[in-house]
Structures are given as structure tokens and as C-alpha cells.
Amino acid sequence: MPASPAARPPATQARWVPWLIAITPVVPFGYLAAFGALGSLRRLPGLARWLLFYFAVSQLLAACLTPAPLLSLAFAGVRTLLILAMIAAGVYLQDSRRLRPLLWGQLVIFASAWAYTLATQGVPGVLARLGHPYYYVVSLGLVAVVALWLVAFWRGGVLWWRVAAGVLALATLLATGSRGAVLALVVGSAAALLLARGQFKRRWLVWLLVVLAALVLSASTLPIKFNPVARLLEDQTSSGRMFVWADAYAAWQTSPIGGVGAYQGGPYLTYLFKGGCQLNPVLSANQVSCPEWLSTFSGMWLIAHNAWLQWLMETGVVGLSGLLVVYVYGLWAAARSRDPLLIALLFGYTAMNFVDVVIAVPTPHFAELWWGALGISLGQSRRPPEATNG
């Protein structure tokens, strides 16, 4: 039976767009093509445009109130423009089903992570913790969660490939041992169960969570110690985060109105900042050295392991207010849309943001995905709830 018009994604995208979306996880910064969609922001409802205007102004104003205003203004300008481009890309896509091609690129990332770890460290490397050349282990876990949601909410198609894709994503999630990613999976799935329409989604999500719990419990009883799963069952959950949070709060106090500047908080995070160049742990373990010129920027990617503290540290109360206004409105729009993928993405990332920073751009693609999903939500905010896809 053909799908009803309301069930079909609107046909307004170029044919090459799905291919671009598919390769973006594999080819970092492919999402920069989103700058071509900036004009799509004009389609947003008036309130959404005003909120985005306030967000952009708050970031730039905060930069002017930092200890190094010119450098901060340059960094804040580039970051804000990238965020707006990703939101515009979401507005252009119009429908969360347009994000489905991401799954193919993500499956390539999972396969390459397993191949790379086995080739460089063998089975002991997998038993210790899965790695990837340019995805950090925690972000790899989050990408696996996104892939599980894409599989769970994908209507149609034969069952075998969905099961195969789901098994690979679930195995990758377990092998990363990321508690933050599991938190995102549980909270995002629970939000979709409560707020989205359709028994179809509920059945898949319930089975997904049951299988995850069963695998974690069964793996914990194996005679071979699987460290990633052991991490998921540990009582100790801070991993030094309390010290990092204290550093971030102290950094904010040095410049409470405008913060210390975008990408300039690293040296203040004394618990993490050791000087010199710090690469992905997997590359460092395999004696992949860091170029000397990169040492100058060694603190740029250190994070406060809490998105709100990170934004407060970098942009002060002015910049954080702009983020919160857009953020809360986006969550409301996603809940109102009753779109399960949007709800899972926005609420799942929100949960993980309390123990990590997964919305700060640039990344290989996962933070940009969140802002793109926010753009889809904002674009749907003018529609009545019954007009959005279920």
C-alpha cells in the first residue's frame, strides 16, 4: 500500500544531498556544505528567527567582554556561523527521515573501528576498549547510539539488514564502555517512548533497551574480563569530573559576564591540561606522534565534561543565556512534533551533556548532527502537532 502524502518526506532536496549525508561521518567536515543552506533560515517562524538572532548576538557580545576580545570575537564568529549553518541545514531537510543516510557512513565508522583496533592491538585491545583513529572512544559510543535510533525508527525495508546494522552498532556501543552514551540511549529512548506516537516505535525501543541490559548483565558473568562492560557496571562514575567541573567554575569566575572566550578554556582546566600536544589515546598508544605546530592549540579541545559549565566558562552568563533560550525552545518544539527520532536525539544528547560536551562544534559530525536536528525541530514549530511525521 503506498504511503500517504503526510507520511512522505517533502520532495525539495537535491539528489546529491543523501550521498553527502551518508559520507559525512567518514569524511570529516563534509557538513561544511551546510553553509550553502543558510538562506533556509528565512523559512523559520518569526519567534524562532528572533531566538536565533538573540543567540548569535549573545555569543558575539560575550566575546567582546572576554580578556582577549579580538581573538574571542574571531572564534565566536566562526563557531556561531557554523552552528547557524547546521540549523539551516536542518530547516532545509525539513524532516528527520532525511537523516537516515547517516547510518551508512556510521556503519563504515564502526567497521573501521573494529578493524583498526584489531590490527593495531589485537583482541586485547578490544577487551580493553575499542578505539578509532579520529573518533574519541566516548564519541564513538554516542554515534553508535544514534545509529541504534536510526535503525529503530526506520520504517520499511527488509528486516535482516536492520538487525545486522543494529547488532554492529550495539556491539560497538558495548565495546566503547561509554556510560555517557548509555545514559543518552536510556534517556533519549525513554523520552521517545513517552512523547512520540506509534506502537511501532515503542516495541523497537523496549526491545532495544531489554537487549542492551541483557548483554551487559551476561557479559559481566563471562570468564574473560571485558573491561568496557565492567566500566558500565562500576559504581564510581565521576572519572575525575568533579575536579574538571571545579576548574571550569573557577575559570568562569575570572570573567563571569563574557567568559574566557571560545576554545580558550583549556589552560584553565588544570586537571586535564598537561601542556604539549595531546592526541587521541588510541593514536598515542600506537606511537603516532603529534606535529609540533599543533602544540600551540593543545588546549583548544579540552572540555569541562558538562556542556553548561563549558558554555559558562567560555561565554559567561551572556553567552549561556543565548544557548539556553534556543536549547529550551528546541526541546519544546521536538516534544510538540512527536517525532521519535528528533525527541530521542535532542533529549538523549541533553542527558549526555551533563557528563560530557556533545554539542560543541566542530566535531567529526555528531555535534553538528544535534544542531541539524534542532533546525528540523525549529522548522516544524509552526506546524500543528498532527501535521508532523509519527
Where exactly are the structural domains of the chain? 113-233
361-372 pLDDT tens trace: 999 999 999 999
Q: Is the pLDDT assigned to residue 176 strictly greater than 60? A: yes
pLDDT bin (cut points 50, 70, 90) of residue 389 is very low
CA distances from residue 117 to 28, 103, 125, 175 in whole angstroms, order as listed: 20, 21, 6, 11
Q: With 90 as the cut, is the pLDDT of residue 126 above it?
A: no
The pLDDT, as a whole number, for residue 390 is: 42
Cα separation of 40 and 383, whole Å?
Answer: 17
The x, y and z cell numbers of residue 256, run together, are 563571569
- Here the cell at position 50 is 528572533
* CB atoms closer than 10 angstroms to residue 5: 7
Asked if residue 334 lies in contact with residue 342, where contact means CB atoms within 8 angstroms, the answer is yes
Give the gyration radius of the chain's Cα atoms: 21
pLDDT digits (tens, 9 = 90+) for 219-240: 555 555 556 665 665 655 556 8
Contact call for residues 345 and 66 (beta carbons, < 8 A): no
Question: At 90, is the pLDDT very low, low, confident or very high (cuts 50, 70, 90)?
Answer: very high
| Rounded distance between C-alpha atoms, residue 109 and residue 87, angstroms | 24
Asked if residue 44 has pLDDT above 60, the reply is yes
Q: What is the mean pLDDT of the chain?
A: 85
Bigger pLDDT: 133 vs 287? 133
The burial class, CB within 10 Å (0-12 / 13-18 / 19+), for 14 is exposed
pLDDT value at position 113?
95
- Whether residue 387 has pLDDT greater than 50: no
Q: Which residue type is seen at 171? A: A
Which amino acid, 314? E
What are the pLDDT digits (tens) for 54-79?
Answer: 999 999 999 999 999 999 999 999 99
Largest separation between any pair of C-alpha atoms in the chain:
63
Backbone angles phi, psi at 202, to 5 degrees: -65, -45
Report whether pLDDT(299) > 80: no
CA distance 269 to 294: 19
Angle 277-303-115 from CA coordinates, rounded to 5°: 65
Cα separation values, 263 from 55, 253, 270, 327, 366, Å: 18, 17, 15, 20, 18
Of 231-245, 251-265, 282-296, least confident by mean pLDDT is: 282-296
Between CA 331 and CA 378 the distance in angstroms is 9
Question: In 3-state terms, what secondary structure has residue 236?
Answer: coil
Give me the phi and psi of 260, to 5 degrees please.
-95, -5
Question: Mean per-residue pLDDT for 87-97?
Answer: 95
Q: How far apart are CA 324 and CA 126, in angstroms?
A: 39
The pTM of this model reads 0.89
| pLDDT at residue 181 in the model | 92
User: Of the spans 72-81, 113-122, 169-178, which averages the highest pLDDT?
Assistant: 72-81
Grid coordinates representing 58 are 549573545
Number of Cβ within a 10 Å radius of residue 154: 16
